[in-house]
């Protein structure tokens, strides 16, 4: 019974993702475009906490995204640091292949050693292609093998419309992503405090072993000129145009925006700020699920000292919604019919399915409000005896 329940639950969650994506596309197709002056071919504005798309155009269109690909390079590096495979103080040798790369660079010296901290910092701040390749070669053994790791991680994150061919985002015929998928990898990177330590630096220096210095200037101008910006990654090639993925926070709202294929560098920053300003002016955070309050349903416990147990949401759930509109928010329960004792407190027994205007937008696990011990033999006898009148 439990296996069947889990299978059904998985099918429901897949359906939520699919229906939500289709609903987003339908909404955008029917909605008049309030950003007619945008040069971006594809853009998206999303609530980073609930994954709810607030606005967008061509959000699933496959495109070259240039150095935005380095978000995945950064994510894999951060994960390797987090699990102890890499250390910030580890020194990596810059290969000839890395130092010969074109585009933005930290101008590494072939054969010289550089700390992981300096390499990662130069990738996050200055979008250094040579540093990205050195990290890729160290983690993957080669840049090509690292690209396979990137694609594997993308699939794990649910990025169904992304293929990586290299660690830098330099043009490749078999490399592409989407605005929607870009929000996924950026939100994954943003979970690491180390990323925030580096991404907010406006200017820094990389000192080479010879004493030569490379000035590192942040390619994301929003960090300096937009107070609400909390991170992001730029990208540019002739094929991709000017791109920007970024995050911003204000009034308890955490947003992510992606603009792809803008006409020039200034446009990608201007259009991103327009998206954020629109959201901060017209949207607010609304709590939908309160995990501190018991749900208005209980679950039957088989063979337990208690026959029923109160249920709770595993965590709070909020969405960003328009300030002056009350969308039709509904919550449905999908709970297994019963549970067998003994069972631990906080055991997952189902999900709350949250829908807006009839479209599923998210879910929260339903958990037991207490543990339940198995009923003893004497407890059963006592329970039976209590039912007989004296």
Would you say residue 8 has pLDDT above 70? no
Query: Tens digits of per-residue pLDDT, 81-124?
Result: 999 999 999 999 999 999 999 999 999 999 999 999 999 999 99
Would you say residue 5 has pLDDT above 80? no
Query: Tens digits of per-residue pLDDT, 309-337?
Result: 999 999 999 989 998 877 789 999 999 99
Find the mean pLDDT for residues 344-357.
Answer: 94
Q: With beta carbons less than 8 A apart as the criterion, state whether 179 and 44 touch.
A: yes
Look at residue 389 in the predicted model and tell me its pLDDT: 59
Find the mean pLDDT for residues 144-160.
Answer: 98
Find the mean pLDDT for residues 182-199.
Answer: 98
Look at residue 361 in the predicted model and tell me its pLDDT: 87
Q: Categorise residue 346: left if φ over 0, alpha if ψ from -120 to 50, beta otherwise.
A: left
In the chain the first and final C-alpha atoms are separated, in Å, by 40
Sheet of strand 348-356, all strands in order from the earlier edge strand to the far edge: 329-335, 348-356, 359-368, 308-313, 298-302, 338-340
Q: With beta carbons less than 8 A apart as the criterion, state whether 259 and 243 touch.
A: yes
As a whole number of angstroms, the distance between CA 204 and CA 206 comes to: 7
Share of residues in the chain with pLDDT > 70 (%):
88
Cis peptide before 342 (omega within 30 of 0): yes
Look at residue 174 in the predicted model and tell me its pLDDT: 93
Would you say residue 25 has pLDDT above 70? no
Q: Please give the structure tokens belonging to residue 163.
A: 């293929």
Can you list the alpha helix ranges (DSSP code H) found in the chain?
Answer: 2-30, 70-82, 96-99, 116-126, 129-140, 143-156, 179-189, 193-199, 222-225, 265-282, 377-385
Share of residues in the chain with pLDDT > 90 (%):
81
Look at residue 35 in the predicted model and tell me its pLDDT: 87
In the chain the domains, ranked by start, together with CATH numbers, are 2-20+290-379 (2.60.410.10), 39-282 (3.40.710.10)
C-alpha dihedral over 372, 378, 379, 385, to 10 degrees?
170
Look at residue 31 in the predicted model and tell me its pLDDT: 45
**Cβ atoms within 10 Å, residue 334:** 16
- The sign of the CA dihedral 280, 283, 284, 286 is negative
Q: With beta carbons less than 8 A apart as the criterion, state whether 151 and 163 touch.
A: yes
Would you say residue 183 has pLDDT above 80? yes
Question: What global pTM score does this model have?
Answer: 0.84
């Amino acid at each position: 019974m439990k296996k069947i329940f889990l299978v059904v639950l998985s099918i429901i969650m897949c359906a939520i993702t699919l229906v939500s994506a289709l609903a987003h596309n339908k909404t955008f197709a029917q909605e008049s475009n309030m950003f007619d002056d945008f040069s971006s071919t594809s853009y998206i504005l999303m609530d980073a906490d609930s994954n709810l798309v607030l606005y967008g155009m061509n959000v699933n269109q496959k495109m070259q995204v240039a150095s935005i690909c380095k978000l995945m390079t950064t994510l894999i590096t951060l994960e390797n640091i987090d699990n102890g495979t890499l250390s910030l103080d580890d020194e990596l040798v810059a290969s000839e292949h890395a130092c010969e790369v074109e585009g933005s660079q930290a101008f590494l010296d072939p054969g010289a050693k550089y700390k992981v901290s300096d390499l990662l910092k130069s990738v996050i701040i200055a979008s250094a292609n040579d540093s990205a390749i050195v990290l890729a070669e160290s983690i993957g053994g080669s840049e090509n093998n690292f690209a396979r790791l990137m694609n594997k991680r993308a699939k794990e994150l649910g990025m169904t419309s992304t293929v990586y061919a290299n660690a830098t985002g330099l043009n490749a015929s078999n490399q592409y992503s989407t605005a929607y998928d870009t929000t996924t990898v950026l939100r994954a990177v943003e979970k690491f405090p180390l990323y925030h330590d580096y991404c907010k630096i406006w200017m820094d220096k990389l000192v080479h072993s010879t004493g030569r210095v490379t000035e590192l200037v942040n390619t994301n101008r929003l960090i300096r000129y937009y107070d609400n910006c909390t991170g992001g990654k730029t990208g540019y090639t002739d094929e991709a145009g000017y791109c920007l993925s970024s995050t911003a926070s204000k009034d308890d709202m955490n947003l992510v925006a992606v603009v792809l294929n803008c006409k020039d560098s200034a446009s990608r920053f201007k259009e991103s700020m327009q998206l954020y300003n629109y959201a901060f002016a017209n949207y607010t955070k609304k709590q939908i699920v309160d995990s501190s309050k018991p749900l208005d349903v209980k679950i039957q416990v088989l063979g337990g000292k208690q026959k029923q147990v109160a249920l709770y949401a595993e965590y709070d759930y909020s969405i960003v919604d328009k300030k002056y509109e009350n969308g039709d928010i509904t919550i449905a329960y999908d709970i297994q019919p019963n549970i067998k004792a003994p069972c631990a407190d906080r055991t997952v027994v189902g999900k709350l399915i949250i829908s807006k205007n009839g479209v599923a937008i998210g879910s929260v696990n339903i958990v037991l409000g207490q543990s339940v011990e198995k009923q003893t033999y004497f407890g059963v006898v006592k329970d039976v005896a209590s039912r007989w009148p004296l």
